[in-house]
Structure 1
Amino acid sequence: MTVLSEQEFRVLNGAHLKKMATAAELASAVGLDVAVVEPVLNAAAGSGLLMAAEGRHLLLPEGTSAVHEYYRTAYEAMRSNDLVLAWYERFETVNEQFIKQVSEWQSTDGDERVQSRLIKTVERLTKNLRELTPIVPRYETYVDRFGGSVARIDQGEKDFVCKPTIDSVHNIWFEFHEDILTVIGRPRDT
């Protein structure tokens, strides 16, 4: 089993959460400089943890196992931490609202009122994430990413609501949800 350093975990976890991404996309997603990310990706490709194809990176099964092992060891105490588990239960309520709002936004072709409620929900999550950043400092990157996407939406770029090929609030939310589930050791269908 490959044991990852914190930096390797951040980069490979970014690849795990994004599925297929360029070095620049991963650097942005994990809050590291691309000059730091590229050598990690190259080393991981060399050791069979991921593959690169046309400038995009895909985590392979051994890489996924290494990422999951890091989660298990680094976040083991959080799986029984009452503060974190209570935070997650509150998140699930907000998550249900967000999913409904995204569906409504899509079905109304981007209605401004629905979009406003959706953005308020994203801002609520961002505020709530501040409770977890002292425990999981890398979650500050989600706060930054949400802020950047909301700013783009505020400037009239509606694609940043849920376009699948950019860092939209929907994509960031999806990645965060998978991340927090893995931190607390719950499967996605729970």
Structure 2
Amino acid sequence: MSELKTLQAIRLKGRVSPADLAATVGEDAATIAATIEGLSEAGLVIAGATVRISPEGRERLAALLLEERSKVDPAAIAAVYEKFRGVNADFKALVTDWQLKDGEPNAHDDADYDAAVLARLDAIHAQVLPIVAAAAIEVPRLTAYADKLSSAATKLKGGETLWFTRPIIDSYHTVWFELHEELILAAGLTREAEAKAGHAE
């Protein structure tokens, strides 16, 4: 299992249980347990009931990401990220409308309103999948984000609305946020700079 893939997943999650880590990287529990043990022995993660990246792990991850980025076509990934920015603006508006109704916190007691908001996700999902595919040409491991977004979208269509914005699972919003972070890094940018420019969530 890729050291980069594992360390990046742990960093993006902040603190993550081995079970949730296994789910997000698509590996079985035994493989994850062995990987965590190896990374812990190397001082790259701090393991317990949850796993988090250590300062040494952040340094190692930064080096791995830099190496990965050295193989990326800057113009191609910049074009991909520019397309994502446009769709991201629509997604941010959608999330706001899900969380607020008439300027107040959405109590989710109006099924028609919620359904109308979620219906708009279909168009956004259709737009983001080709963006992920284009990004994966430059950074192959990003392919997984298409499956994660599609899985969350399927659960939403089945009526499981927790899979839209719940933070502690691979909800649509969680995966979107992580994809955004990946694209920012691949483009050689920072979230702080993107926030100042109004492009970060």
* TM-score normalised by structure 1 residue count: 0.89
Partner of 1:127: 130
Aligned alpha-carbon RMSD (Å):
1.7
- 1:15-164 superposed matches below 5 A: 15-54=10-49, 56-78=50-72, 81-108=74-101, 109=106, 111-164=114-167
Partners of 1:149 and 1:30 lie apart in 2 by: 15
* 1:48 and 1:60 in contact (8 A); partners too: yes
- Between the two proteins, what is the percent identity of the paired residues? 27
Structure 2: which 5+ residue stretches go unaligned?
A: 109-113, 195-201
| Selected match of 2:184 from 181, 186, 189 | 181
Q: How many residues align?
A: 183
* TM-score normalised by structure 2 residue count: 0.84
Partners of 1:14 and 1:49 lie apart in 2 by: 13
Letter in 1 for 2:66: R
Partners of 1:8 and 1:77 lie apart in 2 by: 17
Larger relative contact order (Cα-Cα within 8 Å, sequence gap ≥ 6): 1
* 1:23 and 1:57 in contact (8 A); partners too: yes
Structure 1: which 5+ residue stretches go unaligned?
A: 1-5
Letter in 1 for 2:99: Q
Once the two structures are superposed, what CA deviation does each residue of 1:80-107 show, in whole Å capped at 9, x if it has no partner?
Answer: 5212111111111111111111011111
Partners of 2:28 and 2:69 lie apart in 1 by: 25
Q: Quick check: 130-139 or 178-187, which moved more? A: 130-139
